[in-house]
Structure 1
Amino acid sequence: MINGKEKLIVAIDTDEYEKAVDLIDSLEKSVDIYKVGLENYLASNGKTVDYLVSKGKKVFLDLKFHDIPNTMKSAVKAVINKGVWMLTIHVSDMEGMKQCAQIAKEESERLGIKKPLVVGVTVLTSLSNEDLSDIGCNMNTEETAIKRAKLAKAAGLDGVVCSAKEVDKIVEACGNDFVTVCPGIRPKTAEVGDQKRVVTPSEAIEKGASVLVVGRPITKAENPSIAADEIVKEIESVSV
């Protein structure tokens, strides 16, 4: 049977540290993994990450590093000692990704800690085929995500962030041991918001997603803990 709590990541989408702490405390028994993105990380000066680590929670640090190879490498090195479970970089040039994968391994070994997963962002779930065309990409979202996933694996990354719309194709191309992190997850009753490529929790798991990122359907719910529990149950309803 699937352990739904091991598959669910809750996105902390507030720029206030106190609200983040209240949310984490309200989800104490329901959620074990949290995503901290740019908004909260900068607003809290990283305090939310420290709070989560102090409570024994897993942290998905989603800062999406994207720069020249040396800068990306240095940024990855700088967060290794934060005790995070997983972090993101953008799928970019092969050399930059290789350096990020290597420094994560070397710095973790130097510090004597478990290496965090380093995953590459393929195509943001807020982007459509038209959006990619507007910026000069001659492939659609699925083709782009699959190609970038293959590049990420070849560079030594642990996995990718991708829409559940194409996760089955990525699993087929890169293998079951290649981590697939799927945002843009919305229960059928939830509003889509600014996401353009959304999938329900059960559909994403059925398509092979490793972990799911859920934000507003939980964080904006009247009772976040109940909302999280319902998604965990939906995940666990999938037969494997």
Structure 2
Amino acid sequence: MRSPIIIALDFPGKKEVESFIEPFEGQPVWVKVGMELFYEVGPDLISILKEKQFKIFLDLKLHDIPTTVHKAMKRIAGLEADMVNVHAAGGTAMMKAAIEGLNEGTRNEKRPLCIGVTQLTSTSSQMLRDELLIHEPMQNTVCHYASLARDSGLDGVVCSPLEVPQIKKVCGSAFLAVTPGIRLAGDDKNDQKRTADPAAAQQLGSDFIVVGRSITQSLDPLKTYLNIEKEWGLQHETTNS
């Protein structure tokens, strides 16, 4: 069993990534490659991480017309990342096109997991109402997007831990909830609004948690990672099975 902890590699370039991941090599660890890093280093980084046995969440948040997303996902599938995503706000046709593209481009037997971003964890209820002109409550909006994602064939959604119980109720327990905005006790929330600590995220039903600065800016990142595993009741030895 692999750990549900996804480390966000929020670094500016390849050199910083290679230095950071060295203590984690040989461990069954998920990492997230976001836009900044992918646009700087490119697809070669995915190959490097796969060679070192990391599981990869390629976090590019595609949001475009269905044809463009279909073609992009067909090529992304060839990178052999393990999880990819789109913005659920792109609509049903776009999300279905994403799955079609992944299926066409997958080289192995199983396509990457595909999840939909509901509302970014930096979005507040006030922003939803005043800037995006969405007057439904945040939870209603997120659950509606999650339902669209499920009906479009996606495997789950990205959401705040606070919204997981209702999403599971609406979409079923097997529908994945990947939750960023995870902070350890005493950490600064920075630009995140709807956050939780790892233990709370587990209790709320998160399947994966994305942890960035709490690990990457730690004086001992591996120790911090293992401590979060312990909060989930995982022992380091069991994650190698």
Structure 2 length normalisation: TM-score?
Answer: 0.92
Structure 2 counterpart of 1:64, from 55, 61, 64: 61
The alignment yields a C-alpha RMSD, in angstroms, of: 1.4
Pairing 1:215-226 to 2, within 5 Å after superposition:
215-226=212-223
Structure 2 counterpart of 1:50, from 38, 47, 50: 47
Q: Check if 1:119 corresponds to 2:115.
A: yes
Same amino acid, percent of matched pairs: 34
- Deviation digits for residues 44-86 of structure 1, max 9, x if unmatched? 1233212111111100000000000101111111110111100
For the residue of structure 1 that corresponds to 2:61, the secondary structure is strand
Structure 2 counterpart of 1:147, from 141, 144, 154: 144
Q: Which residue of 2 aligns with 1:21?
A: 18
- Deviation digits for residues 219-240 of structure 1, max 9, x if unmatched? 0011111111111111117xxx
Instruction: Please list every run of 5 or more consecutive structure 1 residues that lacks an aligned counterpart in the other structure.
Output: none
Kindly tell me the number of residue pairs found equivalent between the two proteins: 232
- Deviation digits for residues 74-120 of structure 1, max 9, x if unmatched? 11111101111000111021111111112222332xx2342100100
Q: Distance in 1 between matches of 2:128 and 2:230?
A: 35
* Aligned partner letter, 2:156: G
Matched-pair contact (CA < 8 Å) for 1:31–1:228: no
Q: Distance in 2 between matches of 1:199 and 1:29?
A: 29
- Deviation digits for residues 133-170 of structure 1, max 9, x if unmatched? 12211123221111100000011111110000101110
Matched-pair contact (CA < 8 Å) for 2:74–2:103: no
Matched-pair contact (CA < 8 Å) for 1:17–1:48: yes
Structure 1 counterpart of 2:203, from 196, 203, 206: 206
Pairing 1:91-130 to 2, within 5 Å after superposition:
91=88, 92-108=90-106, 111-130=107-126
Q: Check if 1:176 corresponds to 2:173.
A: yes
* Aligned partner letter, 1:99: A
* CA apart distance, 1:29: 5.5
Q: Distance in 1 between matches of 2:114 and 2:108?
A: 17
Q: Which residue of 2 aligns with 1:80?
A: 77
Instruction: Please list every run of 5 or more consecutive structure 2 residues that lacks an aligned counterpart in the other structure.
Output: 235-241
Q: Check if 1:234 corresponds to 2:218.
A: no
For the residue of structure 2 that corresponds to 1:166, the secondary structure is helix
After TM superposition, the structure 1 stretch with the greater mean CA deviation from structure 2, 175-184 or 132-141, is: 132-141
After TM superposition, the structure 1 stretch with the greater mean CA deviation from structure 2, 189-198 or 99-108, is: 99-108
Matched-pair contact (CA < 8 Å) for 2:60–2:86: yes
